[in-house]
Amino acid sequence: MVLEVGKPYIGRRKSIDPRAEYTFRAGQHQLLLCFTDLTEPEIRAVREGEPEFALVVLEDVIFFLYRFGGFINWSDAPYSWHLVPPKERELPKQLETPETRALLLIVLVDADSNNVRALRAVMLPRKFTGALHAAIRAQAGRAWTAEAFNEHLHKAYNRWPTTEQMLTRAAARCRGGA
């Protein structure tokens, strides 16, 4: 899939469902943000603002937390390696050098029009990369059922009704990125 600002995210669709989705598939990290009623300050925040990320793990669920500048508040995107299509599943590599960092592609889509409004690539710091990769490898190595995943997801949102509350349990947290 080739993404381009101003072009549809999914061909021939007039709109798409709003969502935030973190994925690690085919060796690539991506944060997909599909928002309705996008404002120019929100678009600029994703394009140019200082991003912050955090990682929370609760049993079968990895939560990728994010915010951008003062315009997109803390929010989260749950993830499971087991939900990735089997042909795209790939375990993250162990850190090869102390300088190894992961590249995260951020895609902002106007859900009302299905148009890509911002694309940005940021490097995740080494410690955050290591924690995220370790969580994905651990998750991939455990037995998994959709029922257990949904139960743990529900349990997490009951325990932490807001992302700010979830943030207090972060296993890793970082600012910025190149």
**For the segment 46-73, what is each residue's pLDDT rounded down to a tens digit?**
999 999 999 999 988 999 999 998 889 9
2 in a domain, yes or no?
Answer: no
For residue 35 the two structure tokens come to: 């928002």
What per-residue confidence (pLDDT) applies to 95? Answer: 64
Query: Domain residues for 109?
Result: 19-175
13 in a domain, yes or no?
Answer: no
Q: Burial, 169: exposed, middle or buried (Cβ in 10 Å; 0-12, 13-18, 19+)?
A: middle
Q: How many domains does the chain have?
A: 1
168 in a domain, yes or no?
Answer: yes
For residue 167 the two structure tokens come to: 């943030």
Nearest partner of 124 among 94, 100, 107, judged by Cα:
100
Which single residue is written with the structure tokens 């190595």?
Answer: 141
Q: How far apart are CA 93 and CA 29, in angstroms?
A: 13
What per-residue confidence (pLDDT) applies to 70? Answer: 81
12 in a domain, yes or no?
Answer: no
Band (119; pLDDT cuts 50, 70, 90): very high
152 in a domain, yes or no?
Answer: yes
60 in a domain, yes or no?
Answer: yes
Q: Is the pLDDT of residue 171 over 60?
A: yes
CA 166 to chain centroid: 15
1 in a domain, yes or no?
Answer: no
CB 46 within 8 Å of CB 108: yes
14 in a domain, yes or no?
Answer: no
